[in-house]
Structure 1
């Protein structure tokens, strides 16, 4: 894989995923260093003029009115030590890598005044696989600075690091990777931490996962239509042109393409239940929400979100609120609701497939009948999973208190909004696994059914992991195996209309 060259523009969620999960290397374009050097020069000149600059010659938060005298570099270390208040379970390495790359991308835009040598050290640590151990609790979405202190402290050789799968002192990790700790110049510490990089990085991974799950959901929905004998005239493009709701035409086209064949079977019913008949509009709403979340994340990745901000061309340094991510939080709250709605339809289709028998299917999808439980016990599990999703769909962005003596009296809870959305995707994939299992069983039980080429490939992939149900057995084990394939990247990529889904957003 070729290196990703940072230019200060056009970083995408796909770039974040490649660096975070596939260890893609990062290179720095010469223009980026020049941009950083210019901003640093302006910052130093303005500071020398005696202007008050937040976090350089003033305290932070409630200490805004306190002047900083003496060694300004030592104050940068002090502000890191004083804000190292994160607690809780450590974030996964891929999330930390996404955070590191998000901060690198933001800094490359310019405007921070960060010393170029510190920027290079951050890129080198990322490329070397030296990651701070970053606790998960401490940010309320008005910048992620309490979490980000672990990253800044790593670069100066303090705190703990994860290197080559081992947890160790940061100084040791840097030494093993043949990297040297940096010395912080005025404002360098604040420049490293005062941005929403945890939110943007983890948000990029969540968007990537939502796209993948959506492609798998479309497959499951199409196979359900095959297995239940659905009336596929609902996918007629003219119907969706008549009401061009967000994403609806695109969602219908993916389902239509998955079901495409030379001879279209006659429908078994005039109208199917809404969870089947309205799939294009349900999935379309999700497509729109993913697109909004992606746009919100990529705005952050390609923006100068520092406070204060160095306006190099104007030779000015101004305080901002650019670290505040209300729009990003709202996008993920919306995405969570769209996922919950889609998951509810998934669970409804599963119950339709596994119930008393619809469109000629046997009760509970059991080939033996009688007292056989078939798939019906999994209805409880599906309902349990859906309840967990609905719980996570409750909004959190209004849950904040005024802190720092009222100076910081608003917050967006963006990391929590992103984290719960990511958790919903994990649970949603479990429901997708249930639907795939049930739809495949329905296909096997429907006589003389010839599948479309693409749904046949989906059916084959399921059967490679989960055999058809011939008598009652522990289906939870099968569901776990299928979910692991969906979530772990082992689902055959040729089956997913990922390229088409990507175009939709």
Structure 2
């Protein structure tokens, strides 16, 4: 798959916008192939941020989609209960669901009309999100995931639904989807807005402009979707939007950790710290994946650094916030990798209820199970499932949130240690000789405030549930809240790393800039092009913003 680079256009109205600012970090392909099996988190980020995305469904995916829809229709013909087709639409149960045309049984036209009407009503009734719109890229990520899940053939939708997702992604038509209102047992009140846009209702974003969906479809020459059967249920009863947001954040946390490893390495050089805790020899003594991963990243950033040469002023043992950074940084990396693994199961499999399985074979284990099977030209089974449950993703996100809170603690304590001349052998508060004012004496406060925020956010793993829907839906994952918390923590971490970078750069320059690692020197040179050495007191808010921008754009 060939790669091109560039910067996509992002429409961003809410605090969810951090990922949009990181859009340049994903590799972009000339064609994005959807097969229902091999979509990665990196590819989700790429499609979401590629306004010129060209989407290709494999022939196998097209076949699987068609067969899944055919199985749903065959189930209806055989009198099986299919919600939205033979159940719930107002059809007289004593009346046959089929008619004979050209010697073949086909679904009654009146039944299909009732089903289409029920589909439209159901999409409208579930359009119940609140809050500002989700960022365009988050909605695009969700649509890419849902298209890939549909490509498994296990959602039972008509091929026109898949084509509509593909057209929306390629044409840059992004439904306006509220950012809040899902409890994490399928984003039904949010994803419904995607279906509404497909039928020409609601609003969409096109090239940054907000307009009526009907107008956008007309301008693009796209006929509104006519959902039937299980279409509406598959469009709205999915966690694809939450999974898409989580995929973007997992991708962006991974990129942030690469940057923070270099910021920490520069801070270690500013502190004249001891590299012993990061040696392969010391970490092999107790080879947890966390410390091995973290130590390797720090060593790589310090290649060529003066820290590999002895120093009479260097402590044998630094404060724990420095010494244990391999575990803290590596722990966040491992938690990110764990989330990616879980997400790549989620995004490559249907989360539908019911689940449509073409080719399933009835082993005749029980009459209860046999009732789910359909025999015919296209055979298989339609099972009631709990595929909408998001606990595997929610718990992985919450584990990552906890790991990033620990990282926030480490960054805060490392940075505050620079105030102490007994540890650094540098001036108090890193004051230059020409600075007779406060120097860095007051700027610990925003760092501590951000740490307090992250601690509070990280402690908000939701556990309580309220019974809804006639006491049937009585357990919630609240995965969207956990994912939103991850975005807030990551946003705060970029600010914290910027404050850490200001201290690290000042300390290194106060040491007359000794030989630095290749990666840390590159970072410092880039930083100093925008943020000069602090020779006297000034407004630091501008430095924080500049440092954050530099880190996010790297």
Normalising by the smaller structure, the TM-score range is over 0.9
**Compared with structure 1, are the counterparts of its residues 56 and 374 closer, same or farther at alpha carbon in structure 2 (3 Å cutoff)?**
farther
The 1-side partners of 2:61 and 2:83 are apart by 24
2: distance between equivalents of 1:103 and 1:376? 51
Aligned to 1:8: 36
Show the counterpart of 2:132. 89
Partner of 1:414: 479
Distance 1:128 1:169 in 2: 15
Q: 1:258-314, CA deviations, whole angstroms, 9 ceiling, x for partnerless residues?
A: 112286222411100011000111112111110111111111110111111111102
Indicate if the aligned counterparts of 1:433 and 1:483 stay in contact, CA closer than 8 A.
yes
Other-structure match for 1:174: 217
Find the counterpart in structure 2 of residue 28 from structure 1: 57
Which runs of structure 2 are paired with 1:432-447 in the superposition (5 Å)?
A: 432-447=497-512
- Aligned pair count reads 485
2:197 partner SS? helix
Work out whether residues 157 and 231 of structure 2, in 8 Å CA contact, stay in contact via their aligned partners in 1: yes
Tell me the SS of whatever aligns to 2:42.
helix
In 2, distance between residues paired with 1:36 and 1:105? 11
TM-superposed deviation, 1:55 = 4.2
Q: What's 1:136 paired with?
A: 179
Report the equivalent of 1:50.
79
> Which residue is 1:295 aligned to?
341
Q: How does 1:259-408 map to 2 (within 5 A)?
A: 259-261=302-304, 264-267=308-311, 268-314=314-360, 315-356=380-421, 358-368=423-433, 371-408=436-473
**Residue 34 of structure 1: how far off its partner (Å):** 0.6
Measured after TM superposition, the shift of residue 450 of structure 1 is 1.6
The alignment partner of 1:364 has SS state of helix
Residues 294 and 331 of structure 2 are in contact (CA less than 8 Å); yes or no, is this contact kept in structure 1? no
Comparing 397-406 with 205-214, greater Cα deviation is found at 397-406
The Cα of 1:458 is off from its aligned counterpart by 1.4
User: Cα gap change, 1:234/1:30 in structure 2, threshold over 3 Å: closer, same or farther?
Assistant: same
How far off is 1:425 after superposition? 0.4
Pick which of 23-32 and 344-353 moved more: 23-32
Of 491, 505, 521, 1:426 maps to 491
Per-residue Cα deviation, 1:441-485 (whole angstroms, up to 9, x for no partner): 100001462212221111111111211100000111111011122
* Equivalent residues in 2 for 1:120-135, closer than 5 Å: 120-135=163-178
Distance 2:389 2:328 in 1: 31
SS in 1 for 2:211: strand
CA distance in 2 between counterparts of 1:271 and 1:14 reads 39
Greater than 4 Å deviation, 4+ residue runs: 66-70
Unaligned runs of 5+ in 2: 5-29, 98-109, 361-379
- Of the structure 1 ranges 261-270 and 219-228, higher mean CA displacement relative to structure 2 is found in 261-270
Structure 1 residue matching 2:470: 3-state secondary structure? helix
Contact 1:362–1:369 under 8 Å retained in 2: no
Which deviations, in whole Å up to 9, do the C-alpha atoms of 1:60-85 show, x marking residues without a partner? 9xx9xx99995112111111111111
Pair 1:370–1:437, CA change in 2 (3 A):
closer
Q: Per the alignment, do residues 448 and 98 of structure 1 end up closer, same or farther by CA in structure 2, a change over 3 Å counting?
A: closer
Query: Retained in 2: the 8 A contact 1:54–1:319?
Result: no
Using structure 2 for the length normalisation, give the TM-score: 0.85
Q: 1:238 to 1:343 in 2, by over 3 A?
A: same
Answer whether contact 2:468 2:474 (CA < 8 A) is retained. Answer: yes
**For residues 357 and 382 of structure 1, what CA distance do their matches in structure 2 show?**
22
Displacement after TM superposition at 1:58 (Å): 3.2
Residues 83, 229 of structure 2: 8 Å contact kept: no
Shift of 1:56: 3.7
Select the residue among 251, 262, 274 that pairs with 1:208. Answer: 251
In 2, the alpha carbon distance for the partners of 1:48 and 1:131 equals 36
